[in-house]
Amino acid sequence: MASRKRTTPTLQRFIRKVESRKARIGVIGLGYVGLPLAVEFAKAGFRVTGFDIDAKRVAALNAGRSYIQDVPTGELRDLVRSGRLSATMEFDSLRQMDAIEICVPTPLRKTRDPDVSYIIASVQEIASRLRPGALVVLESTTYPGTTDELVRPMLEEGGMRAGKDYFLAFSPERVDPGNPKYQTKNIPKVTGGHTAACSNAVSMLYSQIFDQVVPVSSTQVAETVKLLENTFRSVNIGLVNEMALMCDKLNIDVWEVIEAASTKPFGFMPFYPGPGLGGHCIPIDPFYLSWKARQSGFEARFIELAGQVNGSMPYHAARLVSDALNSRRRSVRGANVLILGLAYKADIDDVRESPSLDIMEILEKEGARVSFCDPYVPSINHGGGKKRSAPFRASTLRAADCVVISTAHKAFDYNLVSRHARTVVDCRNALKGRRSRGVFRI
């Protein structure tokens, strides 16, 4: 926690506002990161305003209806009714904010270059409305140097200076949707300020809502922390996916190999193969790091290779579908294929970058009739129309020439799948111990 000793008057005023809960908090971007963060601030007694360009999100929040699985509607409704949480599309209200959190998407372009247009748009809204003594925190995952090299110059065009007239920091989001144990409050929060005063300001603010704050020496270090975390996962998933491809060629059960290797009490951490990477972080964040490395003349070969391996897994899953159908003397063209699970991971409703969508597209291009079943995803926009989730029941399973277990939702009855599916491509080892005949596993 920041100390009043050796602090500037500007920082002292900010600390007093935070401690007295008089600080107004603004959160730009009310998605999977921004809404849970806004809720935690409001629960801690701050008055919070959410900003978003999506009218449906703003209306839902102001009506007390949650559209994020990890935020209970009852909790959101109580905060809205108390007056501590509201949302708006009018960015002029940024003038009243003492702390502004930027939680907007940072996708990749098709060329795998960072797309920071949402960050730029947010900072443009802030720059002309930033009040002296306010704190700006970028939470969106991005390449090292974004906060100091892109955000700061835009904020300082009016003459204010970070650490003196206002505070600037980066703090990487660590959201894990659907995780019942680790949610916003109890995940340690890394923070990096542009100056020592900036670091004190963000640490003071975040210590009010997070169980543990982990300060680092700079915004660049904080930016790189998040990229390392997800690159670690991407590279290790790439390794085990390559192991799965190799074991397939050698007729070895990769799942049995991983299970046995996991008994080693040191020097090994189990990762598991699958149909590909999904979500907004792991498939994207490592390429922010490799892009920045290329600007310095360094080739991040592990990252690029892991990306190639992981990106090939939907094609491997589609090939297994072909093998499964061939085992029954059926071709892919004209076959009915049912994909179980469209979300990118189990027990959530998020389909961003989901490999299930890639598998669907690959099989449809080969002439298959593809349907899906997902209790968390009632429908998707697909092929110029809307494709709805099929009901999960024995007749649906029997009607499919091949069932693909792409996402292992706990809601699925795998005993039912085992009894009624003709052939199965099991991408998640969900049928372990249930049956072996007619099952093709990654």
Report the C-alpha dihedral over residues 200, 204, 206, 207, rounded to 10 degrees: 130
Specify which residues 101 forms β-bridges with.
27, 137
Residue 283 has pLDDT above 90, yes or no: no
Residue 116: phi and psi, rounded to 5, are -105, 20
Which stretches within 161-300 are classed as H helix? 196-206, 219-250, 254-261, 285-295
Query: Where would I find the beta strands (DSSP E) of 68-129?
Result: 85-88, 99-102
CATH number of this structure's domain 233-441: 3.40.50.720
Q: How many CB atoms lie within 10 A of CB 179?
A: 13
Confirm whether 198 is a catalytic residue. no
What tokens were used for 43?
Answer: 């629960």
Residue 357: phi and psi, rounded to 5, are -65, -40
Query: What is residue 7's predicted lDDT score, i.e. its pLDDT?
Result: 77
- The CATH number fitting domain 9-217, selected from 3.50.50.60, 3.40.50.720, 3.40.630.30, 3.30.1490.20: 3.40.50.720
State the DSSP code for 442: -
Specify which residues 402 forms β-bridges with.
337
Closest by CA to 420, choosing from 440, 433, 403, 404, is 403
Computed on alpha carbons and rounded to an integer, the radius of gyration of the chain in Å comes to 24
Tens of pLDDT along 47-63? 999 999 999 999 999 99
Q: Taking residues 284-291, report their average pLDDT.
A: 90
Question: Tell me, what amino acid is at 312?
Answer: S
Residue 301 three-state SS: helix
Count, residues in the chain? 442
Q: Taking residues 191-202, report their average pLDDT.
A: 98
Closest by CA to 106, choosing from 93, 86, 121, is 121
Residues 6+ apart with CB under 8 A from 359: 275, 276, 314, 317, 318, 321, 339, 404, 406
The rounded mean pLDDT for the chain is: 95
Residue 220 three-state SS: helix
Interior CA angle at 33 toward 32 and 39, to 5°? Answer: 95
Burial of 92 (0-12, 13-18, 19+ CB in 10 A): exposed
Q: How far apart are CA 353 and CA 405, in angstroms?
A: 17
Please identify which of the residues 103, 198, 247, 281 carries the catalytic annotation.
281
Tens of pLDDT along 231-280? 999 999 999 999 999 999 999 999 999 999 999 999 999 999 999 999 88
Whether residue 32 contacts residue 108, with contact meaning beta carbons closer than 8 Å, is answered with no
pLDDT band at residue 112 using 50, 70 and 90 as cut-offs? confident
Whether residue 37 contacts residue 139, with contact meaning beta carbons closer than 8 Å, is answered with yes
Q: How far apart are CA 138 and CA 171, in angstroms?
A: 6
Tens of pLDDT along 337-381? 999 999 999 999 999 999 999 999 999 999 999 999 999 999 999
Q: How far apart are CA 146 and CA 163, in angstroms?
A: 17
Domain(s) labelled CATH 3.40.50.720 in the chain stretch across 9-217, 233-441
What tokens were used for 349?
Answer: 């409703």
